[in-house]
Amino acid sequence: MAARLLAQGHEVIAATRQRRAHENAPCTRAVTIDIARAVDAADWSAHLHGVDAVVSCAGVLQDGPHDSTAGVHRDGIAALFRACEQTGVRRVVHVSALGVDRQATTAFARTKLAGDELLMSCNLDWIILRPSVVVGRPAYGGSALIRGLAALPLLPVVPGAGALAIVHLDDLVETVAFFLQPAAPARLALYVCVICFVAFLLIKELIPKGTEELLTLVLSVIFLVALIAGLPSTFLVVLRGWPRRFNPRQATPSSQFERA
Q: Do 109 and 97 meet the contact criterion of CB atoms below 8 Å apart?
A: yes
Query: Within 10 Å of residue 9's Cβ, how many Cβ atoms?
Result: 6
24 bridge partner residues? none
Q: What angle do CA 131, 34, 140 make, to 5 degrees?
A: 35
Q: Is residue 26 part of a domain?
A: no
Q: Is residue 27 part of a domain?
A: no
CATH number at residue 68: 3.40.50.720
- For the chain, the straight-line distance linking the first and the last C-alpha, in angstroms and rounded, comes to 22
Q: What is the rounded CA–CA span in Å between residue 238 and residue 207?
A: 33
29 bridge partner residues? 13
Query: Within 10 Å of residue 239's Cβ, how many Cβ atoms?
Result: 8
Q: Is residue 23 part of a domain?
A: no
Write out the residue range of the structural domain in which residue 250 sits: 33-259
Number of domains in the chain: 1
For the segment 151-180, the average pLDDT, to the nearest whole number, is 75
Q: What is the rounded CA–CA span in Å between residue 252 and residue 133?
A: 12
Q: Is residue 25 part of a domain?
A: no
The helix (run of H) or strand (run of E) holding residue 168 is: strand 163-168
Alpha helices in the chain (DSSP H): 2-7, 42-45, 69-70, 76-87, 107-120, 142-150, 169-179, 192-195, 215-218, 221-239, 252-259
Q: Which residue did the predictor score with more confidence, 168 or 111? A: 111
DSSP-derived pairing of the beta strands 198-202 and 163-168: antiparallel
**pLDDT 10s digits, 98-156:** 888 877 778 999 999 999 999 999 999 999 999 888 877 776 666 666 666 666 666 45
Rounded (10°) angle between helices 107-120 and 76-87:
10
- CB-based burial, 93-126: b 16+ in 10 Å, e otherwise: bbbbbbbbbeebebbbbbbbbbbbebbeeeebbb
Which residue type, as a one-letter code, is found at position 177? A
Which residue type, as a one-letter code, is found at position 66? H
**pLDDT 10s digits, 188-221:** 988 765 434 444 444 555 555 444 444 444 444 4
Minimum mean pLDDT among 134-138, 166-170, 231-235: which range? 231-235
Q: Is residue 251 part of a domain?
A: yes
Q: Looking at residue 18, what is its pLDDT?
A: 78
Q: Is residue 48 part of a domain?
A: yes
Does the pLDDT value for residue 53 go beyond 80?
A: yes
